[in-house]
Chain A
Amino acid sequence: GAGVSQSPSNKVTEKGKDVELRCDPISGHTALYWYRQSLGQGLEFLIYFQGNSAPDKSGLPSDRFSAERTGGSVSTLTIQRTQQEDSAVYLCASSLKYGETQYFGPGTRLLVL
């Protein structure tokens, strides 16, 4: 596609429910990144994929967070048993290759009630 796309654009859920956030990177981009943007915390790195492998998961806040990437393309970020502090904007970015300029999607705004 022309740019990084993410879905849903907004998600409201109840505390304790699981949510799945989807990212479609720019076609041909091998590297994919997830970030979280919350008030007072700025933009935080969550996880990075090279192809379907995630060499660095160090930014995932807890074991309730997981992500996968299939076919070297689409990625899904899953948050289990959501908590109110998970409310944030989840941003996906992709780059042509590892270490190159990252281009962001519009984000998914998650609100946990």
Chain B
Amino acid sequence: GQQLNQSPQSMFIQEGEDVSMNCTSSSIFNTWLWYKQDPGEGPVLLIALYKAGELTSNGRLTAQFGITRKDSFLNISASIPSDVGIYFCAGLYDYKLSFGAGTTVTVRA
């Protein structure tokens, strides 16, 4: 599938900070998905967005499906140590998922 442009590539967080990441694409998607992957595990679905303009929350996570259907962002509020990992955005068109390259979130020492 087409690679999405995900940024930032990596970030360091301190506990309690808010975190933001986003994805853009030159193509439109029917659904935007955000996954988190821990080392040695498969991607775990965090949030699914089905309508352009939709803003959805799941606990401390908030994500939006861009109005143009070509972008999405994910916010994590009041980060905690277990938020570390790799976050992937994915756009779904028809049955095929296209993924961003991932945002690696690490705790700042």
The reply on A65 being an interface residue by CB < 8 A is no
Q: Is B105 in the interface zone, CB < 8 Å from A?
A: no
Residues of chain B contacted by A33 (CB below 8 angstroms):
95, 97
Is there an interface contact between B44 and A99, defined as CB atoms closer than 8 Å? no
Query: Closest CB-CB distance, A90 to chain B, in whole Å?
Result: 10
Q: In whole angstroms, what is the CA distance A45 to B90 when docked?
A: 12
- Docked complex: B75-104 residues within 8 A CB-CB of A: 88, 90, 92, 94-97, 99-102
> A106 contacts B41, CB within 8 Å?
yes
Query: Are B3 and A107 in touch, CB under 8 angstroms?
Result: no
The interface residues of chain A, by DSSP majority, are classed as strand
Chain A interface residue count, Cβ-Cβ cutoff 8 angstroms: 24
Contact of A31 among B30, B43, B95, B99 (CB under 8 A): B95
Taking a contact as CB atoms under 8 Å apart, the answer to whether B95 and A105 are in contact is no
A35 and B35 alpha carbons, distance in the complex (Å): 15
* Residue of A whose beta carbon sits closest to that of B93: A99
Known contacts A45-B1, A104-B35; A99/B92 CB under 8 A: yes
Nearest chain B residue, comparing its CB with the CB of A31 = B95
Determine which of A56, A99, A104 lies in contact with B43 in the assembled complex, contact meaning CB atoms within 8 Å: A104
Of the candidates B1, B31, B33, B43, the one whose C-beta lies within 8 Å of that of A91 is B43
Query: Complex Cα distance A110/B43, Å?
Result: 17
- Whole-angstrom CA separation of A4 from B41 in the bound complex: 12
- Rounded to whole angstroms, the CA-CA distance of A98 and B94 in the bound complex is 8
* Chain B residues positioned under 8 Å from A70 (CB to CB): none
Cβ of B48 under 8 Å from chain A: yes
Partner of B102, one of A6, A42, A101, A106: A42
Question: Is A99 within 8 A of B99, CB to CB?
Answer: no
Chain A CB within 8 A of B67 CB? no
A-B contact pairs, 7 of them (CB 8 A): A4-B42, A33-B95, A42-B3, A42-B99, A44-B1, A56-B96, A95-B95
